[in-house]
Structure 1
Amino acid sequence: MPRGLPILAAAAAAAAVALALVPAGAAHADGAPYTGKQYDFGGTITQISGDVPVVDDIANSITASTAATVDEIAAHRATLPYGDIYPAPGTPDQLTTYPGPAGIPASDQYSVTVEQAGGPVPSFVYKSLARKTDTNRELDTSWTSFSFSGAVTVRVTRARPGATGCLVRPYSAAVVTGFSGSTCTFTLARPGNLSVEFEPEIHNPVPHPMLVFANPPEVDVPSPGDPNVRYFGPGVHTIGAGQPITSGQTIYVAGGAFVSGGFIATGPVSNVTIKGRGIISGLFMDTGSQELNKNQPGMIDIADQASSNVLVEGVTFVDAPRFNVRALARYTTIHNVKTMSWWYSTDGMVGGNKSLLENNFVKSNDDSIKLFWGDTTARGNTIWQLENGAPFMISWNIHENSQTFHVYDNDVIHAEHYQIEKSGIFRSLHAGSGTLSRYLFDDIRIENATWRLFYLTIENNKWYDPARGHGEIDQVIFRNIHAYTTYQKPNVVQGFDSTHKMRNINFQNVYANGVCFNNVQAGNFTVDPATTNAVRIYRSTDGSCRT
């Protein structure tokens, strides 16, 4: 595990992750042997009893391959000026808060203090208003950001009366809260991206969310005098869209900086660092129209896949009218980034081939994390999904053959799917000609979602020309998925036709609707026998699926 990696998991959750990575056959550490059903092309159904070595082999191969890729990414990142992102072990206790920029109003919903030694100090609280008001059921989102090591006590006070208690999500952070008056108090021993929720407003839609971004200490901070650094210090900076990203450049947004701007690479770039504890806002680009916003640029846009070695770290992106972070470079790291955006076409983040998406917070109304370009690891992320899109998007009109994705130890704390029929936590709407394969989703926790868990299809859409042909999706494993709620809609697995199938799709120890899935009935699945093959739904026989 990288040094300083802030995984806020309870001991049981951490143990589950460790066990999930044990090679197949290691004393059935993950709860094997299994029981369940396999559904093959044409409608044949066979019983699963015992081990499933074909799936274990795929999972172990993906794990080994992506672990090697993460090491490759780290080796490239180490060559970047200001490319270090992990505090050293034994970092002394410290707490850093950031000033509110002049002219940026503080939230009228919440106030926050943090305390380590010497008494509580205020932490400035921002607020972003909902933008797609015809569908957004939330009214705004407030947030604060600070950095620390050691332990820190946080007090969040709600301005409105009527609260009866509080909690902190994700559950895996195991944060114990105290509540008095209108103040929620808790102590953190590790960094994390958290939602502080006041009862009874803890279920979708939460009208006034409050987020706490408790960052690790900054390391490898750029020098403002370095000619290769574009340095934004505390205060408001209005720079506009289309700001160039160039090879060898570092863009630094200090804590307390509020930058109205967007950054774009117009061709391939390499060795780029974008980091800091400040904010980049896209509100100035927002037209107020869903259709017009589709023509707006992204906040960070590196679209040329010939690019290489990009780091985006620590920055908070708010009010993007289009996507937040598109960094399609080979060897990309997106680490401890925070995004909050409201429009149907605003995606959270996507990396290129050989990418690491780690410890981020994503609140988006389109896809939060896109898993399109292979050799990608996404771990330690926290997602709040709005009405549209999916927390984990597997495919959308992709024509390349992409493979090998490891998505593990992530939390979905809310999914506000209410009305869009094809929504789901895990989703593919694959209309492209590429074949996408070798996905391992492991140890994913879903807290407050009631629409649908899986929507996995190959199907046309209005943005796709079917004359371009169709591909397949193959070798997908969902393992140790724990959903705390009950879903209204059936899970769907469906290919396009008999030669463009969903193949080798595996659901191992998936818990939702109060049960562990071991057949289509238990999981409320619709599996099309004419367009799928080797769909396996099975659970451990020792009861470990529920833990």
Structure 2
Amino acid sequence: MNDALSTGLSRRTVLQAAGATVAAYSLIGAATGAARAADGPASTNKLVVYPIPSGVPTNSSYSVKARTPGGEWRTVPVYRARAKQIDANTGSGPVFNSSVATFDFKGTVEVAVTSSKGTIGTARIRPLSYDIPFTVDGATVTFTLTEPRNLSIEIDGDLFNNLQLHANPIESNAPGPDDPDVIYFGPGLHKTTDNVVKVPSGKTLYLAGGAVLTSRVEFHEVENARIIGRGVLYNTANGILVEYSKNIEIDGIMVLNPSSGYSVTVGQSKQVTVRNLHSYSHGQWGDGIDVFSSEDVLIDGVWMRNSDDCIAIYAHRWEYYGDCRNITVRNSTLWADVAHPINVGTHGNTDKPETIENLVFSNIDVLDHREPQMDYQGCIALNPGDSNLLRNVRAQDIRVEDFRWGQLINMRVMFNKSYNTSVGRGIDGVYIRNMTYTGTHANPSVMVGYDADHAIKNVTFQNLVINGKFIGNGMKKPGWYKFTDMMPAYANEHVINPRFLNSTEATSTDKPAITSADKATATKNQVFNYLITAGELPTSFNADGLPKGLDIDTATGLISGTAEDNVGTFTVTVSATNSVGTATQTLTLSVQHA
């Protein structure tokens, strides 16, 4: 049993949580066993469904069933999520009920979604990039999945009364309730006396599938700690706070309907990984994941539907100080009912100017963006203020669907007197590669430097495609038109020589020059992130000699994972490649004990 004093929980609460676990954990075991029995002797398919505890709001707009091929249909419970829309005439707006269902599987699973409204006229499953085949029979949509997906099933064009479905991978290495290093919540509704769970160094907070916790989770000045599982943080004042901490992991959790604040805040921390998070918010300033003055952060495979910025990256704000660098967001789906899917740079430190650098956004689906105010439009907003310098930003394989109201790109060196005390220092080095937009609601994009001393420099678009039309060298256009006219976008005189390249053009006349550090330290059995950075716009990366448990993402240059080898020093050769050639560098990687 955990020590209540070390967890921030009363002993009674810990005992109650553990007691609920014992009763409900057997339900998961029984469900898992039933799934195995239905899966057949090969055991290649598996389905796990979790209950929603009494007292947590559900939604009856849809009924959801799932099964493995040849197995029995199993009911998947449906949570009630909330989503917001701003009325441009009043600045406020209605809050709508929406639906969320979740299960775990491996192999193949068949899904049937039935609308309570009756016969379906039209249906779609998004992201559209997944191109998931489906059939409609009366009031039911059926489809098959062979890999984990986060989806929106939309009936008759309704974006609010839709079903969000999170088909997760099967959990591996889930901790047990008697592990002394685990704060364990089993299925059931849980609340702590002070509405906060403080996770100490070296501990894991585990929310089992079917567990719903109504308390904020805090990592404050700790190391080597995590929150994992398939449970839900519900109606919390803020969701998860990570501050002044190192080696923190967040994996598999849903943050549902926070009463206030952000789903995840990362402040002045290092080596943070957020993976497979699902976030829904409807309140004012209901951001998804905000990162302040932090380094070596990975956001991977998240689903964000938020009532303010889905992903926001800043330097100084509140009590967080320092540069912000080496932030990777990949394999994710963003839906901003208000403000930006991606927002970078607004907040900083006028008295001691800071730098935001080495940001990578890769393999992202933007499902929606709706913002009436021109100052806050942009699916990708790069807006340094407060004397921030923003440099070395890469956005690649970005697919933007037909959003409701806003701009594709808003790139401004800004001085917004509502939020800033000084103008940003500038933007230097933005590479947007393989970006598509398909839709009719986008306002013209904006690229505006503040003045000659606060300019936007070295911006390269490569293979930009808008409504099926490539924008760049070789396209058909009047000779006196700019490429920005064809987007369309407005770029002022303080945007220095933007380039629009086709997919085969060389991005540079020189091979890359690696700029990332030649030394790094990982902690055994803890999350680790190291981003290879290089000049001259490399298009691929590699690393040889990595210790067990670490992998290289060749598209982004991110080395990540959990070091599993014995402690010691590893000599790793990292490389960056463009059309001219390949640069290499030796990385001395030390793996230390926790």
TM-score, normalisation: structure 1? 0.75
Moved more, 442-451 or 93-102: 442-451
Cα shift readout 1:24-58 (whole Å, capped 9, x = no counterpart):
xxxxxxxxxxxxxxxxxxxxxxxxxxxxxxxxxxx
Q: Deviations over 1:421-448 (max 9, x none)?
A: 5311010232121212111100111112
How many angstroms apart in 2 are the aligned matches of 1:207 and 1:221? 34
Contact 1:310 1:327 in 2 (8 A): no
Match of 1:193 in 2: 150
Q: In structure 1, what is the equivalent of residue 577 of structure 2?
A: none
Write out aligned runs for 1:337-352 (5 A): 337-351=277-291, 352=294
Q: Is the 8 A contact 1:348 1:366 kept in 2?
A: yes
Match of 2:52 in 1: 100
Alignment of 1:142 onto 2:93? no
- Any conservation in 2 of the 1:347–1:367 contact (CA below 8 Å)? yes
8 A Cα contact 1:415 1:425, kept in partner: yes
SS of alignment partner, residue 246 of structure 1: coil
Measured in 2, the distance between the counterparts of 1:330 and 1:148 equals 32
- Alpha-carbon contact 1:481-1:511 (below 8 Å) kept: yes
Determine the C-alpha separation between the residues in 2 that align with 1:281 and 1:462: 35
| 1:282 equivalent in alignment to 2:249 | no
> What is residue 215 of structure 1 aligned with on the other side?
168
Map of 1:492 onto structure 2: 446
* Separation of aligned partners in 2, 1:422 and 1:325: 21
Please report how far the alpha carbon of residue 140 of structure 1 lies from its aligned counterpart in structure 2 after TM superposition: 1.5
In the alignment, the residues of structure 1 paired with residue 85 and residue 128 of structure 2 have an alpha-carbon distance, to the nearest angstrom, of 29
Please tell me whether residue 386 in structure 1 is matched to residue 350 in structure 2: no
How far off its partner does 1:131 sit? 6.0
Which residue in the other structure is 1:532 paired with?
495
Q: Residue 366 in 1 paired to residue 308 in 2?
A: yes
Query: AA paired with 2:437?
Result: A
User: What is the CA distance between 1:124 and its match in structure 2?
Assistant: 0.6
**Structural mapping, 1:168-317, within 5 Å:** 168-198=125-155, 200-201=156-157, 206-239=159-192, 240-266=194-220, 268-282=221-235, 285=237, 298-304=238-244, 307-317=245-255
Tell me by how many angstroms 1:136 deviates. Answer: 4.6
What do the CA deviations read for 1:337-394 (whole angstroms, capped 9, x no partner)?
A: 0000012411111453111111110011211112443212211101111122x11112
Which amino acid in the other structure matches residue 328 of structure 2?
Answer: T
Q: Is the 8 A contact 1:279 1:316 kept in 2?
A: yes
Kindly indicate whether the alpha-carbon contact (under 8 Å) linking 1:299 and 1:325 is maintained by their aligned counterparts in 2: yes
1:398 equivalenced with 2:348 (yes/no): yes
Q: In structure 2, how many angstroms separate the alpha carbons of the residues matched to 1:229 and 1:314? A: 16
Which of residues 497, 520, 526 in structure 1 aligns to 2:484?
520
Q: Secondary structure at the match of 2:129?
A: helix
Question: Residue 570 of structure 2 corresponds to which residue in structure 1?
Answer: none
Q: 1:362 to 1:431 in 2, by over 3 A?
A: same
Cα contact 1:482–1:512 (8 A) shared by 2:
yes
CA deviation digits over 1:124-151, x for unaligned, max 9?
Answer: 1011234677645662220111000000
* Alignment CA distance shift 1:465-1:380 (3 Å): closer
Supply the distance in 1 between the matched residues of 2:195 and 2:413 (Cα, whole angstroms): 36
The answer as to 2:392 corresponding to 1:453 is no
Question: Aligned match of 2:265 in 312, 315, 326?
Answer: 326
Secondary structure of 1:354 counterpart:
strand
Whole-Å separation in 2 of the counterparts to 1:138 and 1:484? 27
Secondary structure of 1:129 counterpart: strand
Identity of aligned residues (%): 28
Larger fraction in strand: 2
Q: CA deviation at 1:172?
A: 1.9
Structure 2 residue 462 is matched with structure 1 residue 508: yes
Q: Based on CA coordinates, which of the two structures has the bigger radius of gyration?
A: 2
Paired position in structure 1 for 2:376: 422
For the structure 1 residues 176 and 104, does the alpha-carbon distance in structure 2 shift closer, same or farther, using more than 3 Å as the test?
same
**TM-score, normalised via structure 2 length:** 0.69
Contact 2:210–2:230 under 8 Å retained in 1: yes
Cα deviation 1:224-273 (Å, max 9, x = unaligned): 1122211111010122533323211211111111111102234x211111
SS of the counterpart of 1:346?
coil
State the distance in 2 between where 1:160 and 1:452 align. Answer: 34
SS of match in other structure, 1:381: strand
Maintained 8 Å contact 1:494/1:532: yes
Task: In structure 1, give the amino acid aligned to 2:392.
Answer: R
- Structure 1 residues 227, 477: CA separation in 2 closer, same or farther (over 3 Å shift)? same
Distance in 2, Cα, partners of 1:512 & 1:131: 28
The equivalent of 2:275 in structure 1 is 335
Q: CA deviation at 1:420?
A: 4.8
* Aligned-partner residue type, residue 341 of structure 1: S
Q: What secondary structure, in the 3-state scheme, does the structure 2 residue paired with 1:375 have?
A: strand
Alpha-carbon shift at residue 325 of structure 1 (Å)? 0.9
Alignment gaps of 5+ in structure 1: 1-89, 286-297, 543-547
Aligned match of 1:355: 297
In 2: Cα distance, 1:343 partner to 1:447 partner = 24
Q: Which residue of 1 aligns with 2:529?
A: none
Once residues 269 and 463 of structure 1 are traced to their aligned partners in structure 2, the CA distance between those partners, rounded to angstroms, is 34
The count of aligned residue pairs is 430
| Cα distance in 2 for residues equivalent to 1:179 and 1:465 | 51
Quickly say closer, same or farther: Cα 1:524–1:462, change in 2 above 3 A: same
Report which structure shows greater RCO (CA 8 Å, sep ≥6): 1
SS in 1 for 2:376: coil
The answer as to whether partners of 2:255 and 2:280 remain within 8 angstroms in 1 is: yes
Matches within 5 A, 1:40-189: 92-116=44-68, 117-130=70-83, 135-136=92-93, 139-189=96-146
Match of 1:432 among 386, 392, 413: 386
What is the rounded CA distance, in whole Å, between the counterparts of 1:150 and 1:541 in structure 2?
37
Q: Is the 8 A contact 2:84 2:95 kept in 1?
A: no
- Per the alignment, in what secondary structure is the counterpart of residue 52 of structure 2? coil
CA distance in 2, matches of 1:395, 1:246: 31
Give the letter for the 2:500 counterpart.
Answer: I
* 8 A Cα contact 2:83 2:337, kept in partner: no
Paired position in structure 2 for 1:291: none
2:395: which partner in 1? 441
Cα distance in 2 between the residues matched to 1:131 and 1:484: 24
> 1:94–1:162: structure 2 CA closer, same or farther, 3 Å change rule?
closer
